[in-house]
Structure 1
Amino acid sequence: MPDGNEGSSVLPAEDANARTDQIADAALRLFARYGYKRSAMDDIAREAGLAKATLYLHFKGKDDVFRAMLDLLGRRVEARCREVVATPGPFPERLAALLQAHHGQAYACFGTGEHLVELKAVMNTIATRELQAFEQIFARFARELLRQAEKQGEITLSRLPTSAEDWVAGMLFAAAGAKLGTPPSAEDYARRLDGIASVFAAALTP
C-alpha cells in the first residue's frame, strides 16, 4: 500500500525510523518463512506493503535490510529482558524467564527453525557486529540478575569454580547447543532452556 511520502527522498527522522522498522519487521517474517537466499527485495517490499523504490530510499540492498532486521529483533528482545530483570521473584524463575525472553523469543521469531542454520551463517558473514550486540544483551541482563540475587542473599557467587563471566558465557553456549541437530520446535526449545536455567541456577544456590 503506497504511502504519501514515497515520492520524497527526505522523511522526518521519526517517520524514517518507523519506516525502517516496518521494512525490517517484514523482512523478519519473510526470512523466517523462506530463508535469506529465497527472499528478494521485491518480496520484502510486497510484505511491507511498500513500493520497491521506497526500500531503496532506506537500504542499499538485502544485506542492509538483514542487519536492520537483527537490530529490530535485538531491541524487542532487550525490552523483554529489561521487564524480566525488573520483575521480583525467585532467582531460578527469573533466570528461566531471562533465557526465554532472549533466546526463546528470538528462536520463536524464526518459526520452526527450518532456516535457522542458513540465517545463522548469514549473521556470521554479514552481521557480526549486530550478532555480537545481540548476544551481549543477554550477558548484560544476566550479570544484573546475578548482582540482584546476590544482594538479596539468594545466591553465592563464590560457589562458582570460575568467574561470573564464564558462568554467563556457559549459558550462551548451552542455549546455542540446545538448537543443534534436528531443529526443535519453539516449545521443545523453550523446555530445553528451562532445563538449562535449572542447572545453572543450582550451581549458585546455597
Structure 2
Amino acid sequence: MRQIARREDIRDLILDAVDVLLAKFGYKKMTMEDVARQVGIGKGTIYLHFPGKEELILSHIDRIAERIVAKIREIAGSSDSPDRRIRKMLVHRVLFRFDSVAHYSQNLSDLLSSVRTALLTRREAHFEKEAAVFEDVLREGARLGTLECSDPRTTSFVLIQSTNSLLPFSLSARELGRREEVEDQVGRVADLLIKGLLSCPSRPASWTR
C-alpha cells in the first residue's frame, strides 16, 4: 500500500478507479471506501488529493476534457490546412468522449444527476477551452485567406455547439449507436460546417484526404 501511495501518478490511479466503479456501481452507490479498495490505498490518501466524492467525480470528467483539449491542440499545431485541422478536431472531440464512456450503461446526465449543477458548470468551462483552440485555427485560416470567418470567437462556439448533440451526455454511447456510425455522423456535420467556412467553392476536407 505504501509503495503505491508514493507513486507520482496516485491521482491518476484514483481517477482510473473512479472510472471503473462508475461503470460498475454508478455514482450514488459508489463509496470512497470502494475507490480506496480498488486502488489498494487507505481512504485517507484519497482525501489528500480530493476533498470529497463530488470533486472526485468532477475531476474524473475534468481529466477527460483535459485530454481532449491536449489532443486538439496537437492537431491545431499540425501542418494540415486549417479546414482539415478543424475537421479532425471536431471528430476527435466527439469520439474521445464516446470512447471514454462507452462502458457506462447510462448517459452522463442520468449517471451523474446528483452533481448535475456542478457538472454543467464544469462542462461549460471545458467547452470554453476547446473553443479557444478552434478560434486560433479559424483566425489562422482567415489570415491565410482560406476560410471566411469575420468573427472567429463566435464561430468557434458554433462549431462546438453543432457537434454537442453527438456527445454522450443526454444519450448513452449505446443509444448514440455504433462508434462507426457516430464517426460518420460527426464527419458529415463537420463537412457541412467547413463547407460554409471555405473562402471559395471547394470540396470539404474529408473529400480531399
TM (norm. structure 2) is: 0.77
Counterpart of 2:129 (choices 128, 132, 137) is 137
Give 5+ residue unaligned stretches, structure 2: 201-209
How far, CA to CA, are the matches of 2:114 and 2:137 in structure 1?
A: 31
For 1:74, the equivalent position in structure 2 comes to 65
Cα distance, 1:119 vs structure 2:
4.0
How far, CA to CA, are the matches of 1:4 and 1:113 in structure 2?
A: 31
Distance 1:177 1:202, change over 3 A: same
Q: In structure 2, what residue type is equivalent to 1:132?
A: E
Count of residue pairs the alignment pairs up: 193
Identical-pair percentage: 21
Q: Secondary structure at the match of 1:81?
A: helix
Q: Secondary structure at the match of 1:203?
A: helix
TM (norm. structure 1) is: 0.78
Aligned partners of 1:24 and 1:69 also within 8 Å: yes
Distance 1:103 1:175, change over 3 A: same
Q: Secondary structure at the match of 2:2?
A: coil
Give 5+ residue unaligned stretches, structure 1: none
For 2:15, the equivalent position in structure 1 comes to 24
**Matching of residues 97-136 of structure 1 within 5 Å:** 97-111=88-102, 114-116=105-107, 117-119=109-111, 121=113, 124-136=116-128
Q: In structure 2, what residue type is equivalent to 1:203?
A: G
The CA deviation string for residues 87-122 of structure 1, in whole angstroms up to 9 with x for no partner, is 111333211211133232122100156322324645
Counterpart of 1:36 (choices 24, 27, 47) is 27
For 1:186, the equivalent position in structure 2 comes to 179
How far, CA to CA, are the matches of 2:105 and 2:2 in structure 1?
A: 33
Q: In structure 2, what residue type is equivalent to 1:185?
A: R
